[in-house]
Amino acid sequence: MTHVQQLVIGMLLDDAAAGIARWMAALVSLVVLALFVAVIIPIAVIAAPKVAPVRATTQQGGVDRPPPPAAIEPQPPPSSSRPVDVALRFLGVRYVFGGTDPASGLDCSGLVQLVFRQLGVALPRTAQMQYDATARLKQDELQPGDLVFFARTYADPRDWITHVGIYIGGGQQINAPTEGQVVSIQPVFSGFWGAHFAAGGRVPHP
């Protein structure tokens, strides 16, 4: 074998060895990639921290709050005609400011207190106190037996509500109106009383 032949054979062997080395390197890279896809990525996904979903907020400031409670509706009167029936017994009793005895005279809140006391319901003494002790009603919610309240029917330094009557339906009330008059049926929403009408009130059940 000549020297030239030996050089050619050596070069071929070197090229073969380099090719084998490159092939082995490529094989190792493929094995590493396969391991990364098959093992490393699933482990990373499992170990990743769980992020809680963002909750929708219902109020300003990003705080989730329950809805406000529904407004409490006034209860229907237990027997709406009973206060009216009792009040009718006192028609014609004269008005006396501060009066609580039908034998001597009644004022407006004295009449209301007396009527409901006979039905087993204790109400406070003045029109303002009775207003504060009852559930508010709009005009179209009134039923017979409810109370009707009036504001500033006379100057009072302490109370805003100064008169009360018992609603009998049809826009009418039984009340003890003022000095020189008697317990009688009068309109609620017209005339003097209509100009001073404030609200209705429902007496709580006994």
What residues act catalytically?
108, 163, 175
Q: Rounded CA gap, 40 and 198, in Å?
A: 78
| DSSP class of 77 | P
Residue with tokens 């090719």: 19
Within 36-121, where are the H helices?
41-47, 81-88, 108-118
Return the sign of the alpha-carbon dihedral for residues 80, 110, 151, 171: positive
17: left (phi over 0), alpha (psi -120 to 50) or beta: alpha
CB 141 within 8 A of CB 201: no
SS3 content of the chain, % helix, strand, coil (to 5): 40, 20, 45
